[in-house]
């Protein structure tokens, strides 16, 4: 039998029983819509949740603190002290999936411009890692480089509160970086050094950068300095102190307050944390709090997929039932085909084709209707879908699309619909081939 004859006969047979064929196709349409919308809702919820957690900061950062709090065997929180030094930094750099490592030191300082001053916090990190840690753009000046590290970077709000008191009147100053000369001094041992007769440390800032306004609070009032440049300045500062304080200051350069690690991917953060903790150090990251939520999100997607699959199973049963009924009604026709010398494989192909075309038509219609329903759900059902995000720890976002159909889903849904049709028609097709030609000719059907 030619393929063209097979197609003509299959379409003609389906057309003779329009009502039954239409009801069977509707079953496939419902199954296709169900699985597409369930997957699309799962994808949309997961995408919006990931967008929300990424807005709260990088999920690839791990931090080790000198003083770490953790529960003991009784569940009571205790403070643990950890020694963080260059030896640990070197070990961490050798761990797979670690993109960047930087020691971190935080210092209080006083910024001065003439008789005006303000207080601030300086964060010291290895400037070669700043790009990896996602430092924002500058609105003025430049970032330090390993070749030219004598640069102080101001947070975008760090220069807003310069003042001094004249009597009871507080006078303020607006800083102009192109004209005003700014200096700073460290607060360490400040009171102890008063009246010592030594010249106080005071560094005049010559090279600077200023961070452009952004949503990340840590770039607001913090100032930033390269680690090697800081060590050079802090040694100069230490030698302006008395002997006892000088010794303390120089010893403080040997250890860090924390270490920040940037991992190459969110999925590798937990693995890197486990390797660092195997070295005997306690770590912290946002991922350890987010991971349970991501697991819940993955489970929710599986539930949605299972709901859609149930609808396809019902459609498969409906197709199988339709094809079996068709065999009973066409028993004499099958007998005539066998008597006329039609191959057994052609009879099987005919029934498989009919089942497959039901799946194809239903799948095609289901894909088209899925796009329409997805649009209506995003337009009118966003509030309800957004509330589902709370199940995984997120929050509803106004105007967000919670039903997102990935580009690959229509093709997968169509292929699945055709395969469901073909597989559902296999047993009826096999049954049709086993019908005896003589018994079929005696049939009244």
Per-residue burial over 140-155, b = 16 or more CB atoms within 10 Å of its CB, e = otherwise: ebebbeeeebebbbbb
Question: What distance, in Å, lies between the first and last C-alpha atoms of the chain?
Answer: 23
The ranges assigned to domains in the chain are 3-56+292-442, 61-285
**Sign, CA torsion 243/249/253/255:** positive
User: Over the stretch 186-196, which tens digit does the pLDDT of each residue have?
Assistant: 877 554 554 45
Question: Of the segments 55-69, 191-205, 386-400, which one has the largest average pLDDT value?
Answer: 55-69
Lowest mean pLDDT among 1-10, 136-145, 207-216, 240-249: 1-10
Of 38 and 93, the structure prediction assigns the larger pLDDT to 93
For residues 206 and 328, give the distance between their C-alpha atoms in angstroms, rounded to a whole number: 94
For the stretch 281-338, pLDDT in tens is 999 888 777 767 767 767 777 887 788 788 778 888 888 877 777 766 666 666 666 6
> Tell me, what's the pLDDT at 238?
87
Q: Do the bridges between strand 116-125 and strand 98-113 make them parallel or antiparallel, or are there none, so unpaired?
A: antiparallel
| Residue 109 in this model has a pLDDT that exceeds 70 | yes
Pairing mode, strands 77-81 and 169-173: unpaired
- Supply the pTM of this predicted model: 0.63
Question: In which element (H, E) is residue 165 found?
Answer: strand 162-166
Q: Which residues pair with 113 in a beta bridge?
A: 116
When mean pLDDT is compared over 31-35, 52-56, 344-348, the highest value belongs to 31-35
H helices of 78-182, in order, are 86-93
Between 48-52, 142-146, 440-444, the lowest mean confidence (pLDDT) is in: 440-444
Sorting pLDDT into bands at 50, 70 and 90, what band is 156?
very high
Check pLDDT > 80 for residue 81.
yes
Q: Is the pLDDT of residue 257 over 80?
A: yes
The contacts of residue 314 (CB under 8 Å, 6+ apart) are 27, 30, 31
104 compared with 313, residue with greater pLDDT: 104
- For the record, the structure tokens of 77 come out as 């929180």
Residues making up the chain, counted from first to last: 445
Query: Two tokens at 225?
Result: 């300095």
pLDDT > 90 in the chain, percent? 35
Q: Is 223 exposed, middle or buried (0-12, 13-18, 19+ CB in 10 A)?
A: buried
CA proximity to 354, closest of 23, 6, 3: 6
Q: What secondary structure does DSSP assign to 286-298, as a single string?
A: THHHHHHHHHHHH
Q: Which residues, at least 6 apart from 444, have a Cβ–Cβ distance to it below 8 Å?
A: 332
For residue 271, the model assigns a pLDDT of: 93
Q: Could you read off the pLDDT of 202-250 as tens digits, one per residue?
A: 899 999 999 999 888 889 999 999 999 999 999 988 888 888 888 888 8
pLDDT of 195 reads 43
- Tell me what pLDDT residue 386 has: 57
């Amino acid at each position: 039998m030619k393929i063209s004859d097979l197609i003509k006969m299959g379409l003609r047979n389906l057309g003779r029983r329009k009502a039954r064929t239409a009801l069977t196709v509707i079953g496939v349409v419902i199954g296709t819509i169900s699985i597409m919308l369930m997957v699309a809702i799962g994808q949309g919820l997961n995408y919006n949740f990931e967008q929300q957690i990424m807005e709260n900061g990088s999920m690839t950062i791990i931090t080790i603190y000198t003083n770490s709090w953790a529960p003991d065997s009784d569940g009571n929180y205790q403070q643990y002290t950890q020694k963080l030094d260059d030896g640990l930094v070197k070990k961490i750099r050798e761990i797979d999936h670690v993109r960047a490592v930087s020691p971190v030191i935080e210092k209080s300082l006083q910024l001065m411009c003439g008789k005006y001053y303000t207080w601030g916090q300086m964060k010291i990190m290895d400037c070669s890692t700043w790009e990896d840690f996602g430092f924002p753009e500058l609105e003025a000046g430049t970032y330090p480089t390993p070749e030219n590290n004598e640069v102080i970077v101001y947070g975008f709000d760090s220069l807003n509160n310069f003042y001094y008191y004249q009597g009871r009147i507080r006078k303020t100053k607006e800083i102009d970086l192109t004209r005003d000369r700014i200096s700073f001094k460290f607060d360490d041992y400040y009171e102890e050094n008063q009246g010592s007769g030594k010249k106080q440390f005071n560094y005049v800032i010559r090279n600077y950068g200023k961070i452009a306004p952004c949503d990340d609070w840590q770039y607001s009032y913090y100032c930033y300095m390269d680690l090697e440049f800081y060590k050079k300045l802090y040694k100069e500062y230490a030698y302006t102190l008395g002997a006892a304080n000088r010794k303390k200051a120089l010893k403080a350069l040997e250890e860090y307050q924390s270490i920040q690690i940037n991992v190459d991917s969110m999925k590798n953060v937990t693995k890197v944390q486990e390797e660092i903790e195997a070295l005997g150090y306690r770590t912290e990251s946002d991922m350890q709090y987010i991971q349970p939520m991501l697991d819940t999100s993955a489970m929710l997607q599986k539930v949605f997929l299972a709901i859609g699959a149930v609808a396809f199973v019902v459609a498969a049963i409906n197709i199988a039932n339709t094809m079996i009924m068709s065999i009973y009604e066409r028993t004499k026709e099958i007998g005539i085909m066998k008597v006329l010398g039609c191959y057994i494989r052609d009879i099987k192909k005919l029934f498989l084709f009919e089942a497959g075309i039901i799946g194809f038509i239903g799948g095609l219609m289901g894909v088209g209707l899925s796009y329409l329903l997805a649009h209506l759900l995003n337009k009118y059902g966003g509030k309800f879908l957004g509330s589902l995000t709370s199940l995984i720890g997120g929050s509803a976002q106004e105007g967000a699309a919670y039903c997102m159909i990935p580009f690959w889903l229509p093709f997968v849904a169509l292929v699945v619909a055709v395969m469901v049709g073909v597989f559902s028609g296999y047993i009826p097709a096999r049954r049709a081939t086993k019908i005896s030609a003589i018994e079929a000719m005696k049939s009244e059907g």
